[in-house]
Amino acid sequence: MNQPLDDRGKIKSELASGKLHSYIVHNSKDPHPYLATIRASCLEHKWNFMLTTCDQAAFLYSQARILGAKKILELGCFYGHSTLALAAALPADGLLISVEHNPKFAKIATDHLTRAGVMDRIEIIVGEAPRVTQDLARKHEAGSFDLIFVDADKRHSQAYWDTSLALVRVGGLIIFDNVLARGDILNDSQDAANHATAMREFNANVLLDGRVQSFIATIGDGMLVAIKNI
Ligand SMILES: C[S@@+](CC[C@H](N)C(=O)[O-])C[C@H]1O[C@@H](n2cnc3c(N)ncnc32)[C@H](O)[C@@H]1O
């Protein structure tokens, strides 16, 4: 999987065949005109599969927009593709904090988001997401975020879940990317075992968490969407 497709986004998992995936991404409207420029700039990068696809960006935008989000937290910025989709849904006085531990990606994203004209509502924090999110919780930001999008390293998923639940408001959304482990979620082979097992455990824990209503949207590589109830 993850074979190159076109400039609308790479196939993320076995959820959609090449043709079906192509149809989906070509029938998803970019919520901001600069998103295509970000995708084009990442096309030759060896990790281009990490970039969210057109349909994922449109989905994130729609969720933030429906929610009327004014304050968003993102873990994992990369080239700023999902950051721009989410920022496009914010009002002029909104705030999006994006956490990225690779300074090179933070710089690339900052340049893109500046050119896209949305940097006035974005703060990119360069640092390790587990520590930064705990700092945010300590700075009395608990319960103050409308939406949290988690798209950083998967090994910290459970910790990100716990902190996200503390930081998001009641009625707010937590969205996790890649919860189907690139289609390997049901694969018990040795290669798939670690990632797939960790995601299976994570998904099972979320299902049992009485504080949220959740589901897995079959978009990209599976996006877990949870509404905080209490
Ligand atoms: C899948 S990419 C994010 C893609 C991005 N959301 C998009 O829409 O294109 C994951 C990003 O998380 C960053 N990352 C991984 N582990 C991290 C950590 N512990 N703290 C902060 N950033 C991390 C990586 O450097 C990478 O840029």
CATH number at residue 190: 3.40.50.150
Question: Is 154 within 8 Å of 129 (Cβ atoms)?
Answer: no
Q: Domain limits at 156?
A: 55-228
Number of domains observed in the structure of the chain:
1
Residue 33 in any domain: the answer is: no
How many angstroms separate the alpha carbon of residue 126 from the centre of ligand 1? 11
Residue 223 in any domain: the answer is: yes
Residue 44 in any domain: the answer is: no
How many angstroms separate the alpha carbon of residue 129 from the centre of ligand 1? 9
Residue 48 in any domain: the answer is: no
Closest CA to 10 of 59, 34, 44, 60: 44
| Tokens standing for residue 229 | 């109830």
Residue nearest atom 9 in ligand 1 by C-alpha distance: 51
Residue 94 in any domain: the answer is: yes
52 Cβ inside 6 Å of ligand 1: yes
129 Cβ inside 6 Å of ligand 1: yes
Residue nearest atom 26 in ligand 1 by C-alpha distance: 78
Residue 180 in any domain: the answer is: yes
Phi, psi of 189 (to 5 degrees): -65, 160
Q: Which atom of ligand 1 is nearest to the CA of 50?
A: 1
| Tokens standing for residue 109 | 């994203």
How many angstroms separate the alpha carbon of residue 101 from the centre of ligand 1? 7
- 122-134 in b/e form (b: 16+ CB < 10 A) is bebbbeebbebbb
User: For residue 59, how far is the Cα from the chain centroid?
Assistant: 10
Per-residue pLDDT of the chain (230 residues; tens, 9 = 90+): 334 456 777 777 677 778 888 899 999 999 999 999 999 999 989 999 999 999 999 999 999 999 999 999 999 999 999 999 999 999 999 999 999 999 999 999 999 999 999 999 999 999 999 999 999 988 867 899 999 999 999 899 999 999 999 999 999 999 999 999 888 888 877 666 678 888 999 999 999 999 999 999 999 999 999 999 99
Residue 12 in any domain: the answer is: no
Residue 17 in any domain: the answer is: no
